[in-house]
Amino acid sequence: MKHNFPQVDLPVEMLAWTDVTEDILNLYRQSCRLKACIFALCTEGTIKVTINLMEHEIKKNDLVILMPGTIIQLNEQKEKVRFCFVGFSSHCVNGINLLQATMGSFSKIWENPIVSVSDLVSSYFVDYFALLTRISISHPTATSTAMAQSVLHSILLGINTLYARHPQSILAKSRKEEICQKFVQMVIENYMTERRAQFYADKLGISLQHLSTTVKQVTGRNVLDIISHVVIIDVKARLKSTDMTIQEIAYSLNFPSASFFGKYFKRHMGMSPLEYRNS
């Protein structure tokens, strides 16, 4: 059964807020898929959430990194909870190659979207988000795409440092979760040359049926959806942030022809690469 989650985006390029409480969070109790990129810091209380169909508990000083495509649902909280956050619209994010911007952290973020930070580091994020809040409130529609992308880049640099210097505690993972995480890592490493599900099953040493069933059970998405998601992230960034021709992009990602590439993109995005570039 296909999950048709509501899509959630932001109305402006960058939006920040320092005092998000349970009263606001209660509006988002239903599962949704993010089109935006969001960074949120818990400053008070605890709350249970489901991120990409995996349950997590968020507590004070936890930084939550939600990439576009993330499926999220807020569950229960037993006490008062408070967050500060900054988010970037899909239009802003699409001009950035997230795979390159996050360097080696992309798969780690996908696997472990919550990082516990110290009181000191937490205070840095609170101050930074407060500054961004002042900017986004004072000039909600004046923040240019270039400015928002510059801020996003700076945050991603900080996130990369956190993941590099602050290894995540190893949580007990089921065999299915391990397979799924290895699969996502392999896709990120090989998507430019390999988009066949069988390739990844062979690399993992399991049958295609086993891989397909496992990925579906853990993420709710099928194998080809995840492969295409990573490919489209790269393609959208190249279309919006480079002067490469459609043919150059197609060949750089090892599509057999510009025509095949155009059909692939339209199947997933509902428009041609050129229409997307000009949108």
State the CATH number of the domain containing residue 35.
2.60.120.280
Domain-embedded: residue 2: no
* Residue 51 clears pLDDT 90, i.e. is over it: no
- Report residue 144 as tokens: 């240019």
With pLDDT > 90 as the criterion, what percentage of the chain qualifies? 45
- Same domain for 147 and 39, yes or no, is yes
Residue finishing a domain among 142, 165, 188: 165
Residues with Cβ within 8 Å of 208's Cβ and at least 6 positions away in sequence, in order, are 197, 198, 201
Name the pLDDT band for 63 (thresholds 50, 70, 90).
very high
Please tell me which residue, 109 or 2, carries the higher pLDDT value: 109
- The pLDDT score that the predictor gives to residue 125 is 95
- Same domain for 186 and 271, yes or no, is yes
- Same domain for 124 and 59, yes or no, is yes
- Same domain for 13 and 108, yes or no, is yes
104 burial type by CB count under 10 A (0-12 exposed, 13-18 middle, 19+ buried) = exposed
If you average pLDDT over residues 243-269, what whole number do you get?
Answer: 93
* Residue 156 clears pLDDT 70, i.e. is over it: yes
- Same domain for 122 and 18, yes or no, is yes
If you average pLDDT over residues 173-180, what whole number do you get?
Answer: 80
- Same domain for 28 and 132, yes or no, is yes
- Same domain for 100 and 190, yes or no, is no
Domain-embedded: residue 170: no
* Residue 2 clears pLDDT 50, i.e. is over it: no
* Residue 170 clears pLDDT 50, i.e. is over it: no
* Residue 222 clears pLDDT 80, i.e. is over it: yes
- The pLDDT score that the predictor gives to residue 201 is 95
If you average pLDDT over residues 134-152, what whole number do you get?
Answer: 81
- Same domain for 53 and 186, yes or no, is no
- Same domain for 123 and 252, yes or no, is no
* Residue 161 clears pLDDT 60, i.e. is over it: yes
Number of domains in the chain: 2
**For residue 71, what are the β-bridge partners?**
33
- Same domain for 48 and 79, yes or no, is yes
- The pLDDT score that the predictor gives to residue 31 is 67
Domain span holding position 222: 175-278
- Same domain for 17 and 149, yes or no, is yes
Name the pLDDT band for 59 (thresholds 50, 70, 90).
very high
Residue finishing a domain among 165, 191, 221: 165
Domain-embedded: residue 1: no
Domain-embedded: residue 144: yes
Residue 181: CATH number of its domain: 1.10.10.60
- The pLDDT score that the predictor gives to residue 102 is 80
Name the pLDDT band for 109 (thresholds 50, 70, 90).
confident
